[in-house]
Chain A
Amino acid sequence: MSDVISSRLSGRRSQWPIFIALVLVAATIIYPLYFVLITSLRPNPDYLADPFGLPGTWSLENYVKLIQVYGVDRAFLNSLMVCSVAVVVVLVLASIAGYALAKLPVPGAKIVTGTFVSVMLLPAPVLIIPIYLVLARLELVGNYGGLILVYVATGLPFATFFLTITFRAIPDEVLEAARIDGAGFFRTMWSIVRPMGASGIATLAVLQFLGVWNELIFGIILIPDQSLRLLTPTLAGIGSRFVTDQPLVSAGLFVTASIPLLLLALASRYIMSGLQAGVSR
Chain B
Amino acid sequence: MTSVTSPLAGVASAAPAGGTPRKPGGLRKRDRVAGLLAVLPAFLIVVGFMAFPVGFALFISFTKTNGRTFEFRGFDNYVGMLTDPVVHQVFLNNLKFLISVPLVIFVALIVSVLLFERVRGWRFFRIIFFLPNVLSVAVIGIMFRNAFGYDGGVNQLLRLMGQEPILFFTNASYSIAIIILALVWAGFGYQALLLLAGLTAIAPSVYEAAALDGAGWWQRLWFITLPNIRRVLGFVFIINVLYTFTSLFGFVYVMTAGGPGYDTTTIDYLVYLRAFSSSNLGSGAALAVILFLFIGILTLIQNRVFRLQEED
Tell me, yes or no, whether A69 is within 8 Å of chain B by CB: no
The answer to whether A105 touches B21, judged by C-beta atoms less than 8 angstroms apart, is yes
Contacts of B57 in A (CB 8 A): 126-127, 129-130
Would you list which residues of chain A between 85 and 133 have a CB under 8 Å from chain B?
Answer: 93-94, 96-97, 99-110, 112-117, 119-133
Docked CA distance A119–B126 (Å)? 31
The answer to whether A29 touches B129, judged by C-beta atoms less than 8 angstroms apart, is yes
Would you list which residues of chain B between 113 and 157 have a CB under 8 Å from chain A?
Answer: 113-123, 125-132, 134-139, 141-143, 145-147, 149-153, 156-157
Query: Total A-B pairs in contact (CB under 8 Å)?
Result: 361
Tell me, yes or no, whether B105 is within 8 Å of chain A by CB: no
The answer to whether B114 touches A18, judged by C-beta atoms less than 8 angstroms apart, is yes
Contacts of A106 in B (CB 8 A): 18-19, 32, 35-36, 38-39
Tell me, yes or no, whether A203 is within 8 Å of chain B by CB: no
The answer to whether A127 touches B54, judged by C-beta atoms less than 8 angstroms apart, is yes
Contacts of A190 in B (CB 8 A): none
Of the candidates B12, B17, B48, B119, which one forms a contact with A18 in the assembled complex, judged by CB atoms under 8 Å apart? B119
Q: Is the interface of B mostly helix, strand, loop or mixed?
A: helix
Report the contact-size class of chain A (Cβ under 8 Å from the partner): 35 or more
Would you list which residues of chain B between 212 and 268 have a CB under 8 Å from chain A?
Answer: 217, 220-221, 225, 239, 242, 245-247, 249-250, 253-254, 257, 267-268
Tell me, yes or no, whether A26 is within 8 Å of chain B by CB: yes
Residue of B nearest to A159 (CB): B42
Contacts of B91 in A (CB 8 A): none
Tell me, yes or no, whether A263 is within 8 Å of chain B by CB: yes
The answer to whether B31 touches A104, judged by C-beta atoms less than 8 angstroms apart, is yes
The answer to whether A213 touches B249, judged by C-beta atoms less than 8 angstroms apart, is no
Tell me, yes or no, whether A198 is within 8 Å of chain B by CB: no
Residue of B nearest to A233 (CB): B138
Tell me, yes or no, whether B306 is within 8 Å of chain A by CB: no
Residues of B within 8 A of A (CB): 4-5, 7-8, 10-12, 14-23, 27-28, 31-32, 34-36, 38-39, 41-43, 45-54, 56-57, 60, 67, 111, 113-123, 125-132, 134-139, 141-143, 145-147, 149-153, 156-157, 160, 185, 189-190, 193-194, 197, 199, 204, 207, 217, 220-221, 225, 239, 242, 245-247, 249-250, 253-254, 257, 267-268, 271-272, 275-276, 281, 284-285, 288-289, 291-292, 295, 299
